[in-house]
């Protein structure tokens, strides 16, 4: 197994991805050819099962774009099956303690480093070296999205096998009592982002963040300038809606310039 994304992460390179919650292989096929380093396949909130996830990853074959999946929970049975169908990384939601981080690592690794059961059906089908390389090459990302996770961030990122601490700013805002949308002017909220970056730097890990292209804090420019090195920018749903809206607006502008039809003579 060769994980191009993990190689870039280990070098400290900036990696850019986007979130896909639409359960269809056409979406991942198209986006994997655009030039993203990785796709964040969201099985926690997206309507997709294992069969669909497998097809989505199969459609990315041949692209230099890495499939990383967020399961519904920090559950070794779910994580095992996602890795077996070909994911190169797991984004474990709601990791708030050192023990939960250890459980995430155990789920992603074969013994003796972990408890992953052997049966990498699709993952090893054309890779005779999969078993020997999977533990080192699989990317293990923990989602930092609660106030407890911020308090325990140094311990979480001290766990061997954790590669990235990726922040979920919406759930973090809710957990801290700031509601939605996040209150970017709140000092305590902003301080949480700096704590994650500081802990990641201290532990030789990477800090990640979901971002957008808005003018508010939390955008991709803000995130990269602050020290985040693994980011997602927007999502497939937004691409479709914004593209459709832009196209419709242009068409409406064109229609407004046309003289009303007066009928035939």
Q: How far is Cα 105 from Cα 136, in angstroms, rounded to an integer?
A: 11
| DSSP states of 186-244 | -HHHHHHHHHHHHHHHHHT-EEEEEE-SSSSTTSHHHHHHHT--EEEEEEHHHHHHHHH
Q: Is the CB of residue 203 less than 8 Å from the CB of residue 165?
A: no
Domain spanning 4-256: CATH 3.20.20.60: yes
What average pLDDT does the structure give for the chain? Answer: 96
Q: β-strand 206-211 against 89-92: which pairing, if any?
A: unpaired
CA distance 175 to 6: 30
Residue 263 has pLDDT above 70, yes or no: no
Contact between 166 and 208 (Cβ < 8 Å): yes
Token digits of residue 146: 């609660």
Supply the residues annotated as catalytic.
45
CA atoms of 112 and 114, how far apart (whole Å): 6
Global pTM? 0.95
What value does the mean pLDDT take over residues 149-177? 97
d(CA 21, CA 210): 14
Handedness of CA 105, 110, 115, 121 (dihedral sign): positive
Q: Please state the domain extents for the chain.
A: 4-256
Per-residue confidence (pLDDT) for residue 265, from 0 to 100: 58
Alpha carbons 36 and 233: distance in angstroms, whole number: 10
Phi, psi of 16 (to 5 degrees): -125, 130
Using 50, 70 and 90 to split pLDDT, how confident is the model at 260?
A: confident
Q: Which tens digit of pLDDT belongs to each residue from 82-139? A: 999 999 999 999 999 999 999 999 999 999 999 999 999 999 999 999 999 999 999 9
Is the pLDDT at 254 greater than 80, yes or no? Answer: yes
Percent of the chain surpassing pLDDT 70: 98
- Angle in degrees, 0-180, between the axes of helices 25-32 and 50-58, rounded to the nearest 10: 30
Q: What is the pLDDT of residue 61?
A: 95
As to burial, measured by CB atoms within 10 angstroms (0-12 exposed, 13-18 middle, 19+ buried), residue 262 is exposed
Position 50 pLDDT exceeds 70: yes
**67's tokens:** 């499939």
| pLDDT at 216 (0 to 100) | 85
């Amino acid at each position: 197994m060769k994980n191009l994304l993990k190689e870039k992460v280990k070098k400290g390179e900036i990696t850019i991805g986007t979130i896909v919650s639409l359960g269809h292989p056409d979406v991942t096929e198209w986006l994997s050819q655009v030039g993203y380093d990785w796709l964040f396949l969201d099985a926690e909130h997206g309507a997709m099962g294992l069969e669909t996830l497998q097809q989505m990853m199969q459609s990315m074959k041949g692209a230099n774009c890495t499939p990383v999946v967020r399961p519904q929970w920090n559950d070794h049975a779910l994580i095992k099956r996602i890795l077996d169908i070909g994911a190169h990384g797991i984004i474990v939601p709601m990791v708030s303690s050192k023990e939960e981080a250890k459980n995430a690592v155990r789920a992603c690794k074969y013994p003796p480093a972990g408890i992953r059961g052997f049966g990498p059906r699709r993952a090893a089908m054309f890779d005779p070296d999969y078993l020997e390389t999977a533990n080192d090459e699989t990317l293990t990302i923990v989602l930092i999205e609660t106030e407890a996770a911020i308090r325990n961030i140094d311990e979480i990122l001290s766990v061997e096998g954790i590669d990235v601490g990726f922040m979920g700013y919406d759930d973090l805002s809710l957990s801290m009592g700031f509601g939605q949308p996040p209150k970017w002017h709140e000092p305590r909220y902003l301080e949480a982002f700096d704590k994650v970056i500081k802990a990641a730097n201290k532990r030789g890990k990477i800090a990640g963040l979901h971002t957008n292209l808005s003018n508010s804090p939390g955008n991709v420019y803000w995130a990269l300038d602050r020290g985040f090195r693994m980011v997602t920018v927007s999502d497939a749903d937004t691409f479709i809606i914004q593209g459709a809206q832009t196209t419709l607006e242009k068409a409406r502008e064109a229609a407004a310039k046309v003289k009303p039809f007066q009928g035939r003579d």
